[in-house]
Chain A
């Protein structure tokens, strides 16, 4: 191909590429302004763990199912009523990988995963949660009136 022909082809293809860039001006934005607008996560989202102290029977299945044996279950066998009594239950969120394995295996359904995902703190030891901290209800994004929630949907982005 001679040089002139090459130049014409080059201009044509670069022009085509540039039209795509220009067509972006006609589209809706894909990004969201995170601290002020948040996405609503789905119900099955594997966020922070929620633990119900009263339902736990201290069977330690959660420890066995966990790939890193993370939960620390502190129980004592009460000989007079012949049952286990749960003293303390601890999870270290610095190490938890949020796999969600144990939700399937807990026999009394005392474990579930909430929609919270922003767990960063200034002091990492705050993430070592005991049963009272784990029993907190999650901060729902929809109820928070300072944050504008964006519904996650494919239609919005494909327009």
Chain B
């Protein structure tokens, strides 16, 4: 089922029952990717351990950077499946910058091993925040570029507009959450609602 589903090739495996050419039954097997924050938050809540504010903010920054990288990594093969091969290389250029940031803080580019029960493993190095802000400024120009390339591109619009529309009610019935639910028009941000880390203080 791989080439037809937009997730990155290999993440989602569907066992499909066929009847001639029609798909009769479909069982998804998700290779769920847990972030380290969940494994650490569990024992912290059980043991009533307070996390210092600074550590909480550092964790949020790391999680958001990981989220940016994973969304970039979604975008690459998505455009490649539609037919545009170049955004695939552009995302790796942005991801390299984030890898460098991670390497400076945690020691490894992707598998950080940074979250510990009660905070983070080590504090951020001295100039890290400035580099991070530089990355954010650069990334804004990168997004402008992506917008110019992708958002109005008539080929992209032809292939994507109007396909796979899910209404608000249907989204709740199916149990969707995250960007798909927000795109269906319902205002729901699980990070704010669930008091995850210190997302409450953000706008």
Taking beta carbons and an 8 Å cutoff, which residues of A are in contact with B? 6, 9-10, 13-14, 16-17, 19-21, 30, 41-42, 44-46, 97-101, 104, 113, 152, 154-155, 157-158
Residues on the A chain within 8 Å of B100, using CB: 152, 154
Pairwise interchain contact B103-A45, C-beta atoms closer than 8 A: yes
Give chain B interface residues in 139-168, CB to chain A under 8 Å: 145, 148-149, 152-154
**Per-residue 0/1 for B93-108: is the Cβ within 8 Å of any A Cβ (1 yes, 0 no)?**
1001100100110111
21 contacts between A and B (CB under 8 A): A9-B154, A10-B154, A13-B152, A13-B154, A14-B153, A16-B148, A16-B149, A19-B148, A21-B86, A41-B103, A42-B103, A44-B107, A46-B107, A46-B108, A99-B111, A100-B107, A104-B121, A152-B100, A154-B131, A154-B138, A158-B97
Residues on the B chain within 8 Å of A100, using CB: 107-108, 113
B134 at the interface (CB under 8 A from A): yes
Taking beta carbons and an 8 Å cutoff, which residues of B are in contact with A? 86, 93, 96-97, 100, 103-104, 106-108, 111, 113, 121-122, 125, 131, 134-135, 138, 145, 148-149, 152-154
Chain A's closest residue to B139 (CB) is A158
Pairwise interchain contact A158-B154, C-beta atoms closer than 8 A: no
Number of A-B contacts (CB under 8 A): 62
CB distance from B146 to the nearest CB of A (A): 9
CB distance from A52 to the nearest CB of B (A): 20
Rounded to whole angstroms, the CA-CA distance of A97 and B111 in the bound complex is 9
Residues on the A chain within 8 Å of B103, using CB: 41-42, 44-45, 152
Residues on the A chain within 8 Å of B134, using CB: 154-155, 158
Q: Among A10, A45, A154, which residue has its beta carbon within 8 angstroms of that of B108?
A: A45
Rounded to whole angstroms, the CA-CA distance of A44 and B101 in the bound complex is 12
Pairwise interchain contact B113-A101, C-beta atoms closer than 8 A: yes
CB distance from A129 to the nearest CB of B (A): 20
A42 with B104, Cβ < 8 A, contacts A154-B135, A158-B134 known: yes
Rounded to whole angstroms, the CA-CA distance of A158 and B133 in the bound complex is 13
Pairwise interchain contact A99-B97, C-beta atoms closer than 8 A: no
Rounded to whole angstroms, the CA-CA distance of A22 and B56 in the bound complex is 43
